[in-house]
Every structure is written in C-alpha cells, then in structure tokens.
Structure 1
Amino acid sequence: MDKPILATGIRELPKIAIVLGTGGIKAMAALALFEFFEEQKIPIDLLVGCSGGALACATIGMGQRPSQVREMGLAKLEKKLFTKINYKSLMGIFSSKMGTFDKRSGILNPERYQNALREYFGDIKLEQMRPRTLIQTTDVETGEGVVLSRGLAADAVYASCAFFPAFPPIKIDGRYLGDGIYSAPVPVVEAIKRNVDVIIALDFKEKVRTEPKGFFSCFYRHIDNTMRTLTRSQMLLSIGMHHHEIVIVEVDFDHSINPWDVHELPSIIEAGEVAVKKQKNAILSAIASFTKSSPQPENRPDKNPAEKRVEKKNEGVKDSANQNSGFRRTVAINPDDDEDRPKSGRTGS
C-alpha cells in the first residue's frame, strides 16, 4: 500500500523526527523528503541538522515550504562567500612570526558568509521554529558535541557549518563552536534523546572515484573518510538504543559538489527524489507499524495500579488519565479536507 496510515477517521500517529547529516548544499536533497511528507499529510515533530543539514532544517523550521525553496533556490549562497582568504591566519600556519593561527582563526574570512546567513534568517531564533529545530555543533576546544536549541538561527547554522580550519568557530554562550561534522555527522542520537518514535535520517554520499587535488580537496577527502567511520559506529549505537523505528535514506551523488554550486540545486533535489522513492514504502511502513502496534489506552502495559483504581472509581476521568500519562496523542486525518489535516510543526510536540 502506498499510503498505509492515511484513512478517514481517528488514527494515532507517532512522534516523527527528521535528521539531516552533513553534506554542504547536498543536504538540500532533503527537500524531496519534506515534499513527500507534505503530500502524505504526515506532521513532523522534530528536525535535527548538522552542517549543511542544519541549513536545510533551519530553512524549513523558519516556515519556508519546500516548493518555495525549490523556486527561489539559494541565490545568496555564492562562491564569493567562500573565497576571501585571511592571509594573517594563513601565514600563521607556517610561522608564528608571519601571522597568527589559533582556536579563533580560519583560513577564510567568515564575514561574508555570516552576513549572508543573517540576511537570510534575520532575527529568527531556534526556539521560535516549528517544527522544533536542533542544530549540531562541536566545541573546538574539547571536541564535545554541542546541540543548540535556542538563540539566533543565523549564528547556530554558521557554527554548524564552520568547517575548521577553513572557517573559524563562533563564540556562543562562552564556547567556541564549529562544524558538527567532528562530533556527530548524522546526529541520530539527539533525536533518540528526545523520545521520538520514528526517525528518518538522511545521509549524503559522494561516490567519487577521482583522486583529490589540492590541499582542501585532500583534507576534505580525509575528513570525509574519517567521518564515514564515525557515522557507521553512531548509527549502530542508535539502532541498538532506539525502541521503535529508524529509517536511513542514503542520497548518492556521482560527482563532487561544492558548497557554492547553487546551479546544482535541481540535480541535488532530483537525487533526493530518487532516494526517497526507493525508501518510500519503508518510511510509510515504519509509521504504519508503530500505529498498528500501539496499545489502546485502556490496555496499556505501562498503566500503573493507581490509574486503574481511579478508572474503576470514576470512569469519567479515564480520558484525563490517558492524556496525563504520557500516551501519544491521536490526530484526525481526512485526506480530502485541508482543515482536518495535521499541521507540520504543532506546538506542544
């Protein structure tokens, strides 16, 4: 069945998280997944993004629809944002007498990129976003993963995308935060910590067979290979930890795509469409299987004796007891009526 959970009437839905991994502009392939959820009228409760995935999550979280992003593109993401070299920092790599390079430094000057993000997001804060949006970063002093849930979206996204040593970290709440790729390239564990039921994780892979040329290409290839190992180990840990469903969608690219290759956006989204189509049934089945396996409120195994005694004494409080027990909410779904469809990013998720 193409739409196993969509039917007229009352149907319980799980809490759903979408996790987008690192990938630069390739993470915009996730637009295909968001469009799929819109078509299926399935609400999303949580977004978790790292690096390029942080930009994609925050774009949706601030209220942009996938169709709007597809039409407008990311025109402000120009190559010139990534070409202004900080020569003082660059020379500092070779000699402290020639320049300075420390934890606050980067080979590239971040001013243009930061200004572009601030113009794009404005004064929007993460806590204002719906669905709830979390941004994965890394403390460059300790290597510890730091997940941002509050503060300016522009600063959080910059931190998550600040690929050290290319870009310098940004100081937020007293910590120097940089690219989340170094701590959790595909931050599935963060979704698990938030007690969601179904997790859809997108991982973006370049299947490039040519040898890298130049410092940045060689360095990035090394980091990419290292992060693949970290991602695999974290995925295995996540699968062991999670009590419900995790669906991993791998989006493959047959050539290298730079962060400023905005002209690649149509082919990036197309790659996302291919990947989502392959995993469509797995995604819908994960949601449907949770729905079907969820016990009725009166038969819940987690119901304690006190609740049962209250229900026997006064059946009128049954509904209230169910709501206060942490049991997942039910949502009325009517595919033919927009007013009844569940809205993405409900408050109180």
Structure 2
Amino acid sequence: MMCYHLKICKSEKSKPFILLILRLEIINIQMPRLLLLAILFYLSGFAVNAQDGPKVGLVLSGGGAKGMAHIGVLKVLEEVGIYPDYITGTSMGAVVGGLYACGYSAAQLEEIALTADWDILLANKTLLSNIAIEHKDFYGRYQLNLPIEGFSIGLPKGLIEGQELSEFLIRLTTPVHEINDFDNLPIPFRCIGADIATGDPVVLKSGFLATAIRASMAIPTVFTPVKIDGRLLVDGGLVHNFPVQDVIKMGADIVIGVSVGDSLLNEDQLGSLVDILSQATFIASYKETQRQITYTDYYINPIVKPYTTSSFNSGDSLILRGEQAARMQYDVLKALADSLKQLRTFKPATLPKIDSSFKISSISVEGNKVFSDELIIGKLNIPPGSSLTQVELTSRISAVYGMLNFDRVYYELLHGPQGNTLIVNVKETTPGTAAFNLHFDSENGAGLMVNLTFRNLGLNNTRLLLEADIAETPYFHGNYFLYIGKNQNHAISIGAKYFADEIPSFDFSGTKEFIYKSKLTHFYFNVQNTEFRNSTFGLRVFSDLNTLKPVVGDSLTRLFKKLTYTNFGLRPYFNYNTLNRKALPTHGKRISVSGTVHLYMNGNLTEPTAEFVDIDPNYTLLSFDAEYEQYFPVHPKITLFTSHIIRLTNFKEGKTNISDYYLSGGFKPNFMLSGAFWGADKYEFKLSSFYRGAGGIRYAMFKSLFLTGAVNYLETKYPMAWMGDDFFDIIPATGKDRRLGWFLNVTLNTLVGPLSFGVANEFGRQNFHHYLSLGFNFMNSHQF
C-alpha cells in the first residue's frame, strides 16, 4: 500500500520548507515494515542554506546486549551518507548513542564492542591485579557480600556497582570530559534516566557524560542507582525506552528510530514467574514505546531473537542483525540521503583530538567523608607535574579502587593551558561488610567461611578484619591494619591466626604410623610498604604457640603424650602478585621471598619416650623460602603455567619441633606451612630443605569448563648436598630423595566458585588419588 504524508518543517535558522514523505508500506509474513522515501523540495522559491537544511534525529532504544544491533544500523547509515544532527538514547542506546555523539565512527564502535571484556565490565568484580597487595588474599573468594551499617547487616542496593563499566565509559569519553553541556558535543545528545523515587523520566542533557550514560543503564536490582543533581536514577527503559519526542524537541525534522525491544509475550508464552515479573516491569514502557514509534519517519526494528539482554558475548551476531535490518531499507535510506544532499551537506562528527599523555597539574578529591585525601592521593601516586598516558591514569585510578574502601571511583580531566586538573570522585563503601562462603573439598571436608570487615574503627585509615572458617579443620584470622606515613604508603598491622588439623606420620613405605592433632596459633606484628599495588616488602615479628597430641598410635609406640612448643622470630619478606584472578588465572606471576630467624624456641614434652630427643632451646633455626609462579596465555583457549618452590634451612632433626617441617602432599593442604604435591597423601612428606617444581597446560573446552594437566617434581637432596652437610641435614621425602607425580583436573567455573574433580598419581605407585572440591578455602588464594 502506498500513502502520502505532507509534513511542514521549519528550522530555527532556515526559511520554511515543505517535506513531502512518500510512505511505502510493505506487508510481509513476519511483520510490517515502513519503507520511507523522503522527497524534499523548495516552496515559493525560498533557498535553504546548506548548513540549515532539514535536521536528522536518531533515536536508539534500550535493550541490554540487543542494543549492539544499533552499531550495525549506524554502519549502513554511514554507508548511504546519513549522519545524524541529534541523538537520543536510553540504556544501551545511551551507550552506543553517547559514544557516537562523542565522534566515534560505527567501525570504531564495532571494534570497541567486540574487544570489550563484557564478563568483567558487567560484573561486580575487577581483576585481581587491580587489587592492592594488602587485600589480595581476601578478595573474590566469597559468594555473598552484605553491607553492615550500625549494628545490622543489610542488603545492597544492587548486585553490581559497575566500577569496571564506569572506568570503561570514562576512558572512552576522555576527549569530551570538559564538555558539560551535551549540546556542545560533536553531535548534540540526550539520554534518559528514571527517578526511582517518583517514577518520572529524567532527560539528561548536561553534566559528566560517562555518569549520565551509566545512570541511563542502571537496571534496578542489577546495577546500583546513580545520584545526579540530588535525584536517584535508574535505567530509563523502565519509563521511556524510546525517546522520539525528545529528539524532535532538540530540533529534528526527520526522525530515524531504531528499536530492539521485543513485543509483549502472549498468555501461552508467560510460562514462568520470571516471565510474568519481567513483563509486568516493562509493560508500561512498552506501551509508551508503541506511542513513540508513531512519531518516527523511518523506523528500523532489527530481529534479535533468540538473543537476550544478557547476550553481550554475541556482539558480532547482534551487530549483523542490525546491519541486515537497515539493509532491508537501504534503497529508501539512500534515496533520503540523496534528497537531503540537495538541500544541505552532511559532515561526519569526529572525536576531539587529545594529547597521548596528560600533564597533571593538580588533584582534587570529591565524595570522601571518612577516608582522607592524603590516603587517596597517596594511593594515586601521581606527583604534581607528572605526565601520564590514558592507560597509566586508568591504572592509578584502579589502585584507589583496589583498596576496597570504595564502591566506585571515577575521574574527570579538566584541561587547562598549564596542565590538567584531575578530579577524583569516590563513593565510599559502608563502614562494615559481612561476607560468606560455603566450600567443600574431599581432603578437608565442608566449611562455612565468614568474614567481617570494619573500616576506620577506632582510628582513621584502618581496617579490622575478622575471618573464620567454621569447618572440620577450623581456622581463624584477626587483623588490625593501619596506613601510616606522609603519603599513607606504609602500614603497620597486628594480628593472629589459628589453625587446627590432624597431621599424619608415615614410614618409609608410605604407611601411616601416627596421627597427631595439631593446634597452632601464630601471633604477628607487621611493618610493610604499601606504595605499590602489586608488590610489597616488610618485616614481620612473630611468635608461635603449638600443641601436638597423638590421636592414633598406642602407648608403646607413641613418642610423647603431648608437646607444647613456642618460638619467637623475625621474618623479612618481599611479595609480588600480578595474577589476573584467583581461580584459573590466565596471565600474571606471583613471587614470594622471605627469610626467617627463630631467635627463641622452647618445647615442653609430657611423657616422652626414651628414644625421643628433646628440643634444643639454644638452637637458632634459619630458613630461606622462595616461590615463583607464572601463567602464559599462548592461545585464547590455552594457558601454560609453571611454579617453583625452594626452601633452605639449617634444620637439624631432634633439635626442632615437628611444626617447623614443611608439610607437602595432597591437593589442598591448608596448614600454615604446607603445600601440594599431586600423587601423594595429604601432609605425607615432612620436609626441611627441598625444591618442588610443577608445570602444566589448561585448555578452555567451553567458556566456563576447563581441562588441566600437570606434573610436579620434588627434590630433597640437591641443591642442598652441593652446599655441604655442615649446614644441611638431607632428610628424604619418606625415604626417597626425589619424587615425580602427575595431575589431571576438570573444573567448571560456577556462580559459587570453581567446581573441580581431579585425579593424581605418583610414578611408581599403583594407587590413585581422587579429589572433589567446590568453592575456595582460606589457604588457596589462587587455584590452578
């Protein structure tokens, strides 16, 4: 069917003109489409200035990941030669539209969408390498995190704060940071939010662009709301998902609208509670969208099923869907472009040029009430006059967020002739948090980890941490941490750790002889450097209290009834960690080097046997420990890894306590001084000086399913034997100087942590060791 629509248009700067729109309505099996052919002509001999001809407005709807189809439409519009004069967008339409308004091309937007790590951007987490070294051990291993305010545990305002998403938008909008009026962007722009307190749509036309876009896509209960000008804003799609009239108000004479929204489900399709709740939430917005469609002159509705709002990893397919939908109207769009070019010229918007590095002349901190400017600026570590690249600046901002004292940290750069002013805006987290983690593994049993963290309790710039594992092998850690120094780049802490587990004793054939119940309390005072995010060095003063009781073994063969052991010592150390995540890291390295001097040791034996030699209180135990671990991505699906541990001590049998041995064996040993050896029983080898090396390969069979194969080697003779018997006792690993084992593991990354099943064996043994685990335990800050 063909119909004609006469539209009288008038630009503020131009003389009147008449726009005759020829509407061609074609009905196909799936849905009707309007192919709009615009024919423009002059009336009454008035000439139209090339810059003041009919203005084109572009409207981009919300729709989550489906909004990536907008990029495909933009590619076709650029191809035919149409560049919008105004843009409005909601939610994902605000992201695409806002960046296009900055001057990015469709090709650039496509590259951004396809290379972005959406799993990180849309998660309430950041890379482990972004977390401060003093917090890495506690980050990302809890399934549930709840705020504590006052004396009660509450619920978060949303599951995702979106720090990574905010950084992503801030980085991309850096060239327009100094533009507060969105009319002054390369393409004038508006985005829509919703006031959660009133339900009213809010048109965002000024302010900080990245924050406005983030507010427009703040899906309630998923993303936390964003406060702008005193109003708490959430996703505008709830009330105004397709802002056509808004682009007309901006001055658009011709409106091209692109909507990726689905139609309402019918009664038969509403098969679940989720379906009903979702439709009930957006039904009002759907009706408003249908009304707004009537104001468009050109309407494009990409078919995006079966993709959903969360299909961010299908960006290439969604962009193609948008391109296909626009190409179905290619002839009409091309005719419109050709007609408009007779009345005006189109000039593509370009991204404002900025320097490759920014000279920071001054720093201002906003939003902080509890944590001092000195602490934040000290973590930034940007001396006045420094020049930083975009990547370096983003890294420094991540260092502030990595302190875990803030829910969100974002920045603005205000350009000036003498340099740039860096404005750091922070949203402080609640004074306390409660975190919980259920975990299980076949070696250590089940447990519930509970973490209570309180900030600025007693003193400013402090953290009190109380962590307990209520389990078959219980654990407790209490720590009070205080940043000190002019730039808050040093810290002191005091704390205690408690471990309890059964320690077996094996004979040379690998048969268990005894089982001891060991309870160890480790007290410490620590001084360390915190200037660098991924490395630290310091000195620890410590004292251990250990009790050991035989629980298996008869009275004739046991060595004692009870041992109480205490020591006191010093431990200088250096730690470095750039691993990208705890579970299944794909790149980065971890280095740990320490030296220990036991200045005092004392043991008290109850009913020792005649053969047992008492602990020598005058003996000074020295040890040197070094660990190295690295992951190499050699393919998007393949990661190689290697790890090495060496321990050198002047350990002499009979002069020290069993707790001074390094306990090796099993998959996940969790005593204070212990480590894995695949193919052996848990704690099977009691080692003094040794070297352990491991290497392997991990293959990502699917997005969340991984297959890992590895070997490990244990050496107890060399290099110690080369250094002389005067210093080292060569103590074999249960009768052997060296051992070799292998390990095969399948891991599924789940919402509650890694679910792993593994099998291992030591070469030369017939028995296999099997292993099953879910979640994290307290000793495993990372997992192969």
Give the TM-score, by structure 1 length.
Answer: 0.68
Number of corresponding residues: 282
**Partner of residue 146, structure 2:** 88
SS of equivalent residue, structure 2 residue 287: helix
Q: Is 2:326 the partner of 1:273?
A: no
Deviation by residue 1:14-42 (Cα, 9 ceiling, x = unmatched): 10000000111322212232222322223
CA distance in 1, matches of 2:257, 2:282: 18
SS of equivalent residue, structure 2 residue 83: coil
Greater share of residues in strand:
2
CA RMSD of aligned residues (A): 3.7
Task: Measure how far apart 1:187 and its partner are.
Answer: 0.5
Alignment of 1:105-254 (within 5 A): 105-122=157-174, 124=177, 125=179, 126-206=182-262, 219-236=277-294, 239=295, 246-254=297-305
CA 1:221–1:86: 2 relative to 1, 3 Å: farther
Q: Decide whether the 8 Å contact of 2:301 with 2:325 is kept in 1.
A: yes
1:28 to 56, 60, 68: 68
SS of equivalent residue, structure 1 residue 171: strand
**Partner of residue 56, structure 1:** 96
CA distance in 2, matches of 1:110, 1:15: 36
CA distance in 2, matches of 1:87, 1:212: 32
Opposite residue 233 of structure 1, the aligned amino acid is R
Q: Decide whether the 8 Å contact of 1:136 with 1:148 is kept in 2.
A: yes
Greater share of residues in helix:
1
CA distance in 1, matches of 2:326, 2:224: 34
Q: Decide whether the 8 Å contact of 1:4 with 1:288 is kept in 2.
A: no
Task: Measure how far apart 1:67 and its partner are.
Answer: 1.3
**Partner of residue 771, structure 2:** none
**Partner of residue 314, structure 1:** none
Q: Decide whether the 8 Å contact of 1:138 with 1:146 is kept in 2.
A: yes
2:54 to 14, 28, 43: 14
Unaligned stretches of 5+ residues in structure 1: 240-244, 293-329, 332-340
Opposite residue 260 of structure 2, the aligned amino acid is F
Task: Measure how far apart 1:73 and its partner are.
Answer: 3.0
1:65 to 95, 98, 105: 105
Task: Measure how far apart 1:62 and its partner are.
Answer: 1.4
CA 1:110–1:212: 2 relative to 1, 3 Å: farther
SS of equivalent residue, structure 2 residue 286: helix
Give the TM-score, by structure 2 length.
Answer: 0.32
Larger Rg: 2
**Partner of residue 296, structure 1:** none
CA distance in 1, matches of 2:347, 2:253: 18
**Partner of residue 336, structure 1:** none
**Partner of residue 303, structure 1:** none
SS of equivalent residue, structure 1 residue 252: coil
CA distance in 2, matches of 1:202, 1:160: 17
CA distance in 2, matches of 1:77, 1:136: 25
Unaligned stretches of 5+ residues in structure 2: 1-35, 41-47, 125-142, 351-784
Opposite residue 249 of structure 1, the aligned amino acid is I
SS of equivalent residue, structure 1 residue 33: helix
CA 1:77–1:214: 2 relative to 1, 3 Å: farther
CA distance in 1, matches of 2:334, 2:251: 19
**Partner of residue 474, structure 2:** none
Deviation by residue 1:189-243 (Cα, 9 ceiling, x = unmatched): 101212311000111034799777785x76444434443223113434xx3xxxx
Q: Decide whether the 8 Å contact of 2:56 with 2:252 is kept in 1.
A: yes
SS of equivalent residue, structure 1 residue 255: coil
Q: Decide whether the 8 Å contact of 1:13 with 1:287 is kept in 2.
A: no
CA distance in 2, matches of 1:18, 1:211: 33
Opposite residue 166 of structure 1, the aligned amino acid is V
Q: Is 2:328 the partner of 1:344?
A: no
SS of equivalent residue, structure 2 residue 258: strand
Task: Measure how far apart 1:161 and its partner are.
Answer: 0.4
Opposite residue 227 of structure 1, the aligned amino acid is S
CA distance in 2, matches of 1:14, 1:63: 21
Q: Decide whether the 8 Å contact of 1:86 with 1:106 is kept in 2.
A: no
